Amino acid sequence: MSMSDEVKASAKKKHKKKKKSFKEAFIPMKDDPPSEVVNKIAALFAILVLVASLVVLCVYFYGILEQQHINDNITDIVDKAKLENEAQVTPAADPNVIPSPEELIPSASVQTETEAVTSPPKELLASARELLAVNPDAVGYVVIPDCVKEPVVRGTDNEFYLTHNIYGSKRQCGTCFADYRNDLGPDDYSDNIILYSHNQKDGSMFGRLDYYRWDPGYWKENPFIYFDTNYEEDIYVIFSSFVINTLPEHDNGREVFDYQNYINFGDTDHTYEEFIDEVTKRSQIITGVECTEDDKFLTLSTCSTEWDESRHVIVARKLRENETVDSFDLSLFEKNPNPKWPAIYYKYNGGTYIEEE
Q: Given this model, what pLDDT does residue 56 score?
A: 60
Measured CA to CA, the distance from residue 298 to residue 237 in angstroms comes to: 9
User: Mean pLDDT across the chain, nearest whole number?
Assistant: 84
Measured CA to CA, the distance from residue 164 to residue 169 in angstroms comes to: 5
pTM: 0.76
Residue ranges of E strands in the chain: 138-144, 148-153, 177-178, 192-196, 224-229, 233-245, 285-286, 297-303, 310-318, 334-335
- Span 253-277, average pLDDT: 94
* CB contact at 8 A, 78 and 131: yes
Q: Given this model, what pLDDT does residue 242 score?
A: 97
Measured CA to CA, the distance from residue 135 to residue 151 in angstroms comes to: 10
pLDDT digits (tens, 9 = 90+) for 37-61: 777 788 778 878 878 776 666 655 5
Residue 27 counted as domain residue: no
Q: How confident is the model at residue 193 (pLDDT cuts 50, 70, 90)?
A: very high
Please choose, from the candidates 192, 205, 126, the residue with its C-alpha nearest in 3D space to the C-alpha of residue 165.
Answer: 205
Count of structural domains, the chain: 1
Q: Given this model, what pLDDT does residue 207 score?
A: 94
- Span 67-89, average pLDDT: 73
Q: Given this model, what pLDDT does residue 258 score?
A: 96
Please choose, from the candidates 142, 181, 179, the residue with its C-alpha nearest in 3D space to the C-alpha of residue 161.
Answer: 179
- Span 10-24, average pLDDT: 61
Please choose, from the candidates 34, 5, 354, 57, the residue with its C-alpha nearest in 3D space to the C-alpha of residue 201.
Answer: 57
pLDDT digits (tens, 9 = 90+) for 326-344: 999 999 999 999 999 999 9
CATH assignment at residue 233: 2.40.260.10
Q: How confident is the model at residue 72 (pLDDT cuts 50, 70, 90)?
A: confident
Higher-scoring residue by pLDDT: 75, 169 = 169
Q: What percent of the chain has pLDDT above 70?
A: 78
Q: Given this model, what pLDDT does residue 286 score?
A: 97
Residue 50 counted as domain residue: no
* CB contact at 8 A, 315 and 279: yes
Lowest mean pLDDT among 2-6, 95-99, 142-146: 95-99
- In single-letter form, the type of residue at position 94 comes to D
Q: Given this model, what pLDDT does residue 100 score?
A: 55
User: What is the crossing angle of helices 126-134 and 34-88, to 10°?
Assistant: 150
Q: Given this model, what pLDDT does residue 67 score?
A: 67
Residue 325 counted as domain residue: yes
- Span 9-38, average pLDDT: 69
Residue 67 counted as domain residue: no
Residue 78 counted as domain residue: no
- SS3 call for 3: helix
Lowest mean pLDDT among 30-44, 130-144, 166-180, 311-325: 30-44
Higher-scoring residue by pLDDT: 82, 179 = 179
Measured CA to CA, the distance from residue 124 to residue 256 in angstroms comes to: 38
Residue 111 counted as domain residue: no
Q: What percent of the chain has pLDDT above 90?
A: 58
Residue 298 counted as domain residue: yes
Residue 335 counted as domain residue: yes
Measured CA to CA, the distance from residue 257 to residue 281 in angstroms comes to: 12
3-state secondary structure 216-269: HHHHHCCCEEEEEECCCEEEEEEEEEEEEECCHHHHCCCCCCCHHHCCCCCCCC
- Span 283-288, average pLDDT: 96
Residue 277, pLDDT above cutoff 50: yes
Q: Given this model, what pLDDT does residue 6 score?
A: 57
Domain extent for 214:
126-349
Q: Given this model, what pLDDT does residue 21 score?
A: 73
Q: Given this model, what pLDDT does residue 110 score?
A: 45
- Span 297-310, average pLDDT: 95
- Span 73-97, average pLDDT: 66
> In angstroms, what is the C-alpha Rg of the chain?
31
